[in-house]
Amino acid sequence: MITTQKMLEHAAGINAFGQPVVEKNGDDAPAHRRRHATEGPAHAPADRVNGAGLIRVANEEEVAGIPIYYYAERSRWYGPNGSGGYSHLSDSQAKSLVAEHGYNKTVKDSQGNTQADRAMLWLIQRRPVAYAGPLAGYRAGCHELEGVRILVTESPRIIRPEPGPFPTIRRLLETMLADEKHDQLTVFYLWSKESFATFWHRMEQPAPWTFRHCPALAIFGPRGCGKSALIDLVLAPLFGSRKADPMNYLREPKFNKDLFAASLLVLDDKGASANLSERRQRGEGIKDLIWKQEQRMEGKGVDALMLRPFWRLVIAGNDDDSGLQVCPALSPSLEDKLLILRARPAEGLPGTHEENDVWASAIRAELPAFAAFLLGWSPPPNLSTDRRTRVANFGHPELVAALREMQPEMRLLELIDGLDLIGEDAPLWEGTASEFERTMRHKDGDRMLDRIFTSGSSAGRMLSEIARVSPDRVKKTDRDGRSYYRIFPPR
């Protein structure tokens, strides 16, 4: 016997167990269970799917407002988290989140789909993303790059500029970069200003952003001089507190996805190499990293994707021969893409772990003031700057000389003198690169040139480089489409 209470519950759409009653005829269902057009009786196929095979929903704006994204390449859902970013969701978690936005995930229609199912299908077809993850220089959220939608899942940690003193940072910089003959501090400030101002603009202004060329910053100095502290405690926080090591990518340019989360790329002594060919290749790789707006991201198991990260590159090493070998081999094409500073031991560096904790805390507290200083700082009006990078091209002469000594061009110059290419009574030697190589090999009984002339173009390339860096020793001229070299004895 059905009691009055049960009849009332049934009329209200609730059974004896407190669960909703599923009506066979959707038109007879109570209004509160026909809230969305995705629920109800079976529709004709044309009403459910359009001619392109896309799911139809009557309430597209509502479905589009559900804050979840589908990363098709990985078959993953992402939804908002409590940190202002997005986290990976399983299929069931994503469906539950859709249900929380008012879409039933249990009551199926005549086609076997729930409201949540159809809403998720619509999102998969209409709002997929080509990439989901952190991206250097971007706040968390959905971005479009040349029509490609990406989801940035994490925002960098931002240092907000606030005027004030920064005595600890100032002392570190002014004493570490002090040089009697060269104003290295101005070179550093200008590189830091242009780099941080570009990063800060990206954080505060909506896209599109103007791509800014910027050279790599190389700092070489004795062990324990403070260069690592400068990178870890000052530069990395200014650019979002994420850094990455591009050495593996420079050695073998693939699987570089880990670099795309960090705005600061750092090469250190671990990447030092005596192999000149590797260091030349490193120079070409560095140019690609810092001189191209479009970067090819390649991860294991997914298709490569072109993205536009914000990157700044810092190279740090000791100032001995071993430490300098982390630097790429110098070449004409690197002149405006590499700043080389010489560091000396900074004053005020901590001596114990306890002192280091206090010192590091002081630097962290001063970062907002230093950021404000950089944004407001202006270089001296007479400073010559590069028109593309807007920073000063500078290489410390002693370090540049030491780096060149490690390159075979300088070794070749030594052999020119040691093998007596120029006779005692001759003012110079003149000829083509091929003639030069034949003459030198004829004099080279110990076959020392075998390690220098590794290809048919080695002699010409090295003579051209010597002509560029030591014009008092070698001059290059062109005659009838051929290059001729005049080699002079040392003064």
Domain ends where: 74, 105, 129? 129
For position 70, what pLDDT does the model report? 97
- Examine the domain organization and report whether 420 and 441 are in the same domain: yes
Q: Are residues 296 and 437 in the same domain?
A: no
151 domain-assigned: no
Do 191 and 235 share a domain, yes or no? yes
Contact 218, 339 (CB under 8 A): yes
pTM, two decimal places? 0.81
Strand partners, 487: 429, 474
What are the distances in angstroms from CA 23 to CA 17, 29, 105, 301, 483?
Answer: 16, 6, 16, 47, 91
Q: pLDDT at position 491, please?
A: 79
Number of structural domains, the chain?
Answer: 4
Do both 52 and 95 map to the same domain? yes
Q: Find the angle CA(411)-CA(440)-CA(490) to the nearest 5 degrees.
A: 55
The whole-number pLDDT of residue 409 equals 87
Domain membership of residue 91 (yes or no) is yes
pLDDT, position 106: 95
Does 199 lie in the same domain as 53? no
CATH number at residue 382: 3.40.50
The position carrying tokens 């570190």 is 172
Structure tokens given for 353 = 């772990």
Please report the pLDDT score of residue 332 as a whole number: 80
Residue 147 lies in a domain: no
- Domain of residue 125 covers 35-129
Residues 285 and 272 in one domain: yes
Residues 274 and 259 in one domain: yes
Query: What pLDDT score was predicted for residue 42?
Result: 44
Same domain, 5 and 62: no
Question: Same structural domain for residues 350 and 216?
Answer: yes
Statement to judge: residues 279 and 353 lie in one domain: yes
Asked, for residue 207, whether it belongs to a domain, the answer is yes
Running along the chain, 491 residues long, what does each successive block of 10 average in pLDDT?
A: 40 39 40 42 68 89 94 94 95 96 94 94 94 96 92 96 98 98 98 98 93 97 96 98 95 90 94 84 93 92 90 96 92 90 97 96 98 97 94 96 87 92 90 96 92 90 89 94 94 79
β-bridge pairing 216-220 and 338-342: parallel
Amino acid in position 51 = G
pLDDT at 404 (0 to 100)? 86
pLDDT of residue 33: 39
On whether both 305 and 447 belong to a single domain, the answer is no
Cβ 461 vs Cβ 407: under 8 Å: no
Same domain, 110 and 174: no
CA nearest 44: which of 122, 111, 123? 111
